[in-house]
Amino acid sequence: MKVGYPVVVVCDDEEFKKVLSDYPVEVILTPSNLKSGSDRIAYTLKNLDYDVVVNLQGDEPTIHPQDVKKIFQTLEQDQVATLSYQIENEEDYINPNVVKVITDKNGYALYFSRSPIPFYRDIDFSQMLKILKPQKHIGVYGYHKDVLLEFSFNLKPSPLEEVEKLEQLRLLYNGYKIKVIQASKDSIGIDTKEDYERFCSLI
């Protein structure tokens, strides 16, 4: 991925490290008992001399490199940044495995949910599309180092996070602002067997 930034692969598997031995990336092993990819990166980042980081996990294999660059550029002004893309069909909109995000007029996240947000009360999905473009959240995050370390080591999971199973809600609950950038193309997050089969059919 040639975006002008160093690439560090963080994992807890020696076999995975061996697979990457021929690639021009640094590979760092972490303890296997860390709860999430964010915790794994925070554990590593505390010992690295980087001020910002983009957390691109293995379950988002189709992210466009230009979108990663956009996140780095956004971090010049904002503490946390992530991606979204327009939802075009109702099936994705009601799918709890497709996380939705709504923002304010300046592009900062108001809420993330597995439920359809906003809810179209007196209209149907096609009518809603004429008023606004619902957004799918793409699970790639950029952080300032101090924010990620605070998130991982000091902030407790929020009630919203525990209910929705969405760790980004911990930041919103504690008053952090998350800038949401429009991705240049959709991404296939691989969270289910169906996601994996869809990914394989496309490649």
Over the stretch 57-76, which tens digit does the pLDDT of each residue have? 888 888 999 999 999 999 99
Handedness of CA 165, 166, 171, 175 (dihedral sign): negative
**What are the distances in angstroms from CA 27 to CA 44, 63, 184?**
11, 20, 28
pLDDT beyond 70 at 3: no
Task: Please give the Cα distance from 196 to 189 (Å, whole number).
Answer: 9
The whole-number pLDDT of residue 4 equals 67
pLDDT beyond 70 at 142: yes
Query: What are the structure tokens assigned to 195, written together?
Result: 């996601």
The whole-number pLDDT of residue 162 equals 97
Task: Please give the Cα distance from 42 to 151 (Å, whole number).
Answer: 9
CATH 3.90.550.10 is the classification of domain 51-202: yes
> What is the 8-class DSSP label of residue 108?
B
Environment class of 21 (CB within 10 Å of its CB; exposed 0-12, middle 13-18, buried 19+):
exposed
- Which residues are CB-contacts of 88 (< 8 A; sequence separation ≥ 6)? none
Average per-residue pLDDT in the chain?
92
**Model confidence over 82-133: pLDDT tens digits?**
999 999 999 999 999 899 999 999 999 999 999 999 999 999 999 999 999 9
The whole-number pLDDT of residue 197 equals 87
- Which residues are CB-contacts of 41 (< 8 A; sequence separation ≥ 6)? 10, 53, 55, 148
